Amino acid sequence: MFSLVEGAIPAFKTFGLKFIFNNQWNPTSGKENYGALPFIAGTIITSLAALIISLPLSFSASLFLGEYYRGTRLAQIIGMMVDLLAGIPSIVYGLWGFYVLRPLLIDLGLPNQGFGIFTASIILAIMIIPYATSLSNEIISMVPNELKEAAYSLGATRFEVIFNVIVPSARSGIIAGYILSFGRALGETMAVTMLIGNTNIVPKSFFSTGNTMASVIANQFGEAEGLKLSSLIAIGLLLFVITGIINAVGKFIIKKME
Amino acid sequence: MKNLVIIFLAVFVLASCQSSSSKKGNEKSAGKSKITLTAAGATFPMPYYNMVFKEYAEESGVQLTYGGIGSGGGIRSLTDKVVDFGATDAYLDDAKLAEMPAQVVHIPTVLGAVVIAYNLSGVDNLKLSNELLEKIFMGEITKWNDPLLKSNNPGLNFPNSEITVVHRSDGSGTTNIFSDYMSKISPKWAEKVGTGKSLQWPVGMGAKGNPGVAGTIKQTESSIGYIGSEYAFAQKIQTASVQNSSGNYILPSIASVSAAAKGDIPDDTRIMLTNSSDPDAYPISGFTWIILYKEQNYNGRSKEQALETVKFLDWLESEKAQGEAEKVHYAPLPAAAVKKAKAILRSVTYEGVPLLK
Amino acid sequence: MNAAQNKISHDNLNLRTAKDRWVKYIVIFLSAITISPIILIIFKLVAKGYRQISFDFIINTPPNTFEAMTAQNNGELIPGGIANGITGTLLMVVMASVLAIPVGVISGVYLYENQGKRLANITRNVSDILQGVPSIVLGLISYLWIVKNITNGFSALAGSVSLSIMMLPMIIRSTEETLKMIPQTIKEAALALGVPYYKVILRVLLPTGVSGLLTGILLGLSRILGETAPLMLTALGSSIINFNITKPTSAVPLLIWEFYNDPNMIDLIWSSSLLLMAMVLFLNIISKQIAAST
């Protein structure tokens, strides 16, 4: 952790705190000017979008597996398929997105040859589904039967039991699952870098191309040195910080809900 | 069920034991030294390196590992002294040489070309003049049926579509060679964009690695970009011919790339070959180098390790190794370059004493 | 109850039942969408990769680019295989597990036992943040610690360390959350019987929660099986099978990356991915069996 801070200091010294808001990224020697804004924007937009897209899907799936069809053969098979999603290497997601998803989106009329924030968000959403689903599934199926039976005996419908009994008692675990998912989305590199178009600007619309912090680090790290290296490390540090902030905000919201 | 698992594991272990002493002949050396050489660096020459490294390993019993983490990664690994040698498409300039912990020498290993690849159905034999290159890659010409393109290529039918420019998103020696050429032929480019492994591109989108750009061009109609030669050939992507300094339109080929290296080469072999003055030369060509420390006794390196390193590099300069280059669409080094490289290798020392005669 | 009240409660019931049924349909529908990508992806992998899979594929090491090119030009299957990747992956995953599982589970238990304490909260936050760090940064940290200082060169050990850091947050979190779901009554009953505390944890809580624990471990393993970026900076890769942990080693995702980057070997990526998926599937099955038998 310290080595990160150490490495990032030259960047901050040269650019000051404005580094965070600077939207330029110019690596030409003699005119070097680095700013983190395009990447911060890209990271936050894609990760949030991915979380929002995946939320209903993984929640439904975890209900399906942990409650409606719990213990059945069908649930076992489907559960395994969801777990398999977690095992697919991110390059393969990137390749699949490149060769399969992108042409599909082009047919649907997407601009920029199918690259961009939208495409990247979809792939991210698919990638993070298993994390939230698996964990939520486990947690939901662990809700003690007595609680559920008590509610049923009072005449509650299935739906009511779910939303008034299961979810509240499993809430902590479910949210933990989503925090894990979100974290994964923030840090995902390979799949995003293949689909996002890699333009170092703040995206103007949801369908334009852009770049994320993880992606630019992966791309440029290989041969960066001096000020550029320091800027990249600074971006890594910022990613740490942003992850921390988002986590804290999430926990705060949960506390408020209780 | 448990039994099944045990059986499976047993089969697997047996199988992997068998393949260690495998038929591929990796270990067929007669009890030779178990020396491993580790190297890392540029991806531009990787197809060539993969092939010849493996050949040498089979012949000599020395195990070779190469990691294509980029020219900068190669330089950094050598700086950190975690590899036996590094590989880079952009040579270290004097300032960078001074920053290295000890004196570093360069030896060129092969010649490669950066080709202008494009995807436009029905349009073959595209000729791109210097002016066209400048305007397309700077975003001043945005459509394929632009009058300038048409006048330079009479007889070709251009559609009314947008040009999608594809460049590298990661730092790369390929970009370095391309931008070096562009700076030489276009003062506007030199001023606005410049030369380097990563640039602030005025237009276009980025893809990672040569395969990223190649794949993107292949899959995207109306696109254009620059990639290492082998990638264009292997994926059968359309290549444009470029105008060299004598005004001739040249397509990249073994002959035209070799012609680019016909001029004088400095003793330390650090030179960019773009825009060569030779009339038959393909103007976007370049060397790729291997870098190592002049004094090999560092970090507790054994003499044997150092000796094997230079022996391998010497083999790399031999006719046999160089002859393999053509198979994968790289050009062998001209005799003059080989001579300089061998001389440099003979100056590499262990505790002050040269390792090779 | 008079007729009006009857009607109201009856309507209410109808409404609730209808809602109930609708929710069920929506859940099923969305779940179907959720699993469609996996079906599509596997389909694509199988379609493009099945021809390459054979016993040879598992036993041999990759060809060089020229052999691949000639094979392709002749319309044959590319020779060779990914044996070095398979052994490398197994080696590093096992090492990473040895490093991460004990630390992760113990940390999870610690967090569970110390809800609300300052140190616990900080640990939990750090763990969550670690989850969001791009894998390449973890690889870099491992490079600085191990490649530069301990093994003086790229090595399998460095690779395992970076992988184990990646597994940690998932194991820690799922352990803690699973333990939290165990009804207090079980814990109290054991304590009331006079069982010493550490035994309560070892013999009662952990076994009850093993299914959840395994989920976390499995998720962690699945993730690292497919990771490339950190390994590029730590294990580097190798063209031969290698079991020496202080030397560079290959791994299946590294090979997939190398194939992708080689103009002639791109076709190998599908079959390699298929094999990787098979490994993940295998892991899944084993862990479900273990969970079922406890």
State residue C243 phi and psi, 5-degree precision.
-115, 5
Query: C-chain residues within 8 Å CB-CB of A170?
Result: 181
Domain boundaries, chain A: 2-257
Angle of helix C83-113 relative to helix C118-132, nearest 10 degrees?
150
How many other C-beta atoms lie within 10 A of the C-beta of residue C181?
A: 20
| Chain B residues within 8 angstroms (CB to CB) of chain A | 69-73, 75-76, 164, 169-172, 193-194, 196-200, 205-208, 212, 215-216, 219-220, 223
**pLDDT interval class at B31 (50, 70, 90):** very low
Quick check: B92 pLDDT over 90? no
Q: How far is C125 from chain B (nearest CA, A)?
A: 32
> What CA–CA distance (Å, rounded) separates C162 from B131?
49
Average pLDDT over every residue of B188-209: 84
- pLDDT in the model for residue A1: 47
**Closest CB from C133, C182, C257 relative to A187:** C133
> What CA–CA distance (Å, rounded) separates A86 from A129?
8
Q: Chain A, 32-61: which have a CB under 8 Å from a chain C CB?
A: 56-61
- pLDDT in the model for residue A258: 57
Q: Taking CB atoms and an 8 Å cut-off, how many pairs form between chains A and B?
A: 78
**Domains recognised in chain C with CATH numbers:** 83-292 (1.10.3720.10)
What are the start-end ranges of the H helices in chain B?
2-20, 46-60, 71-79, 94-99, 130-137, 147-152, 173-185, 187-192, 209-219, 229-234, 254-260, 303-316, 319-323, 335-345
CB pair distance less than 8 Å for B51 and C66: yes
Q: Which of B100, B91, B101, B97 is closest to B288 using CA atoms?
A: B91
CB pair distance less than 8 Å for C239 and B15: no
Query: C-chain residues within 8 Å CB-CB of A240?
Result: 129, 132-133
Q: Which of C181, C253, C183, C187 is closest to C215 using CA atoms?
A: C181
Average pLDDT over every residue of A167-188: 79
Query: B-chain residues within 8 Å CB-CB of C283?
Result: none
Is residue A214 within 8 Å of residue A186, measured between CB atoms? yes
Query: A-chain residues within 8 Å CB-CB of B171?
Result: 27, 219-220, 222-224
Which CATH code of 1.10.3720.10, 3.30.450.40, 1.20.1250.20, 1.10.10.10 fits the domain covering A2-257? 1.10.3720.10
- pLDDT in the model for residue A92: 81
Lowest mean pLDDT among B312-326, C28-42, C119-133: C119-133
Residue of C nearest to A131 (CA): C219
Average pLDDT over every residue of B117-134: 89
**Closest CB from B73, B194, B220 relative to A223:** B73
Average pLDDT over every residue of A161-167: 79
Query: C-chain residues within 8 Å CB-CB of B54?
Result: 64, 239
Choose, out of A31, A208, A213, A223, the residue to mutate when testing the contact with B (most B CBs < 10 Å). A223
**Is residue C149 within 8 angstroms of chain B, CB to CB?**
no
Greater model confidence, B332 or B15: B332
Average pLDDT over every residue of C118-131: 79
Quick check: C101 pLDDT over 70? yes
Query: B-chain residues within 8 Å CB-CB of C60?
Result: 19, 22, 24
Q: Taking CB atoms and an 8 Å cut-off, how many pairs form between chains B and C?
A: 107
> What CA–CA distance (Å, rounded) separates A231 from A12?
8
Lowest mean pLDDT among A28-37, A138-147, B170-179, C168-177: A28-37
Which secondary-structure segment (H or E) carries B116?
Answer: strand B104-119
Interval B191-201: pLDDT, tens = 888 888 778 88
Instruction: Compute the CA torsion angle B27, B39, C242, C141 (nearest 10 deg).
Output: 170
**pLDDT interval class at C87 (50, 70, 90):** confident
Q: Which of A235, A256, A175, A205 is closest to A39 using CA atoms?
A: A235
Q: Give me chain C's average pLDDT, please.
A: 79
Greater model confidence, C58 or C234: C234
Lowest mean pLDDT among B16-25, B57-66, C95-104, C266-275: B16-25
CB pair distance less than 8 Å for B38 and C154: yes
Lowest mean pLDDT among A12-26, A120-134, A202-216, C244-258: A12-26
Percent of chain A having pLDDT more than 70? 79
CB pair distance less than 8 Å for A135 and C219: yes
Percent of chain B having pLDDT more than 70? 90
**Closest CB from A29, A199, A222 relative to B170:** A222
Query: C-chain residues within 8 Å CB-CB of A143?
Result: 181
**Is residue A198 within 8 angstroms of chain B, CB to CB?**
yes
Quick check: B226 pLDDT over 90? yes
pTM: 0.77
**Closest CB from A134, A139, A182 relative to C181:** A139
Q: Which amino acid is at B94?
A: D
**pLDDT interval class at B224 (50, 70, 90):** very high
CB pair distance less than 8 Å for C64 and B55: yes
**pLDDT interval class at B166 (50, 70, 90):** very high
Query: A-chain residues within 8 Å CB-CB of B70?
Result: 222-223
- pLDDT in the model for residue B17: 45
Measure CA B326 to chain center: 14
**Is residue A72 within 8 angstroms of chain C, CB to CB?**
no
Q: Which tokens belong to A159?
A: 């739906």
- pLDDT in the model for residue B15: 45
Query: C-chain residues within 8 Å CB-CB of A80?
Result: 281, 284-285, 288
**Is residue C61 within 8 angstroms of chain A, CB to CB?**
no
Lowest mean pLDDT among A17-26, A143-152, B217-226, C131-140: A17-26
Residue of A nearest to B73 (CA): A222
> What CA–CA distance (Å, rounded) separates C140 from A224?
13
Q: Give me chain B's average pLDDT, please.
A: 82
**Closest CB from C38, C141, C256 relative to A89:** C256
CB pair distance less than 8 Å for B328 and C65: yes
Quick check: A87 pLDDT over 50? yes
Q: How far is C280 from chain A (nearest CA, A)?
A: 6
Q: How far is C244 from chain A (nearest CA, A)?
A: 25
Average pLDDT over every residue of C160-182: 85
Quick check: B88 pLDDT over 80? yes
Whether complex ipTM tops 0.85: no
Percent of chain B having pLDDT more than 90? 9
Q: Which of B329, B336, B325 is closest to B252 using CA atoms?
A: B329
**Closest CB from B22, B38, B51 relative to C248:** B38
Q: How far is C148 from chain B (nearest CA, A)?
A: 7
Tokens 């094999």 map to which residue? C275
Q: Which of B112, B110, B114, B89 is closest to B337 using CA atoms?
A: B110
CB pair distance less than 8 Å for C263 and B231: yes
Q: How far is B148 from chain C (nearest CA, A)?
A: 33
Q: Which of A195-204, A232-241, B95-104, C120-129 has the highest mean pLDDT?
A: B95-104
Interval A95-131: pLDDT, tens = 888 888 888 887 777 666 677 788 888 888 888 888 7
CB pair distance less than 8 Å for A173 and C181: yes
CB pair distance less than 8 Å for C34 and A129: yes
CB pair distance less than 8 Å for C277 and A88: yes
- pLDDT in the model for residue C239: 74
Please name the chains neighbouring C, where neighbouring means 3+ C-beta pairs under 8 angstroms: A, B
B186-195: long-range contacts (C-beta < 8 A, 24 or more apart)? B186/B130, B186/B133, B186/B134, B188/B134, B188/B138, B189/B134, B189/B137, B189/B138, B192/B138, B193/A28, B193/B138, B194/A28, B194/A29, B194/A30, B194/A31
**pLDDT interval class at A19 (50, 70, 90):** low
- pLDDT in the model for residue B290: 92
Measure CA A129 to chain center: 10
Q: Chain A, 103-162: which have a CB under 8 Å from a chain B CB?
A: 103, 112-113, 115
Quick check: B225 pLDDT over 90? yes
Quick check: A16 pLDDT over 70? no
**Is residue A252 within 8 angstroms of chain C, CB to CB?**
no
Q: Give me chain A's average pLDDT, please.
A: 76
- pLDDT in the model for residue A210: 81
Quick check: C126 pLDDT over 80? no
Please name the chains neighbouring A, where neighbouring means 3+ C-beta pairs under 8 angstroms: B, C
Beta bridge partners of B105: B292
Q: How far is B339 from chain C (nearest CA, A)?
A: 27
Query: A-chain residues within 8 Å CB-CB of B69?
Result: 222
Query: B-chain residues within 8 Å CB-CB of A29?
Result: 194, 196
Query: A-chain residues within 8 Å CB-CB of B224?
Result: none
Quick check: A11 pLDDT over 70? no
Rg of chain A's alpha carbons, rounded to an integer?
21
Q: How far is C40 from chain B (nearest CA, A)?
A: 20
> What CA–CA distance (Å, rounded) separates B290 from B294?
12
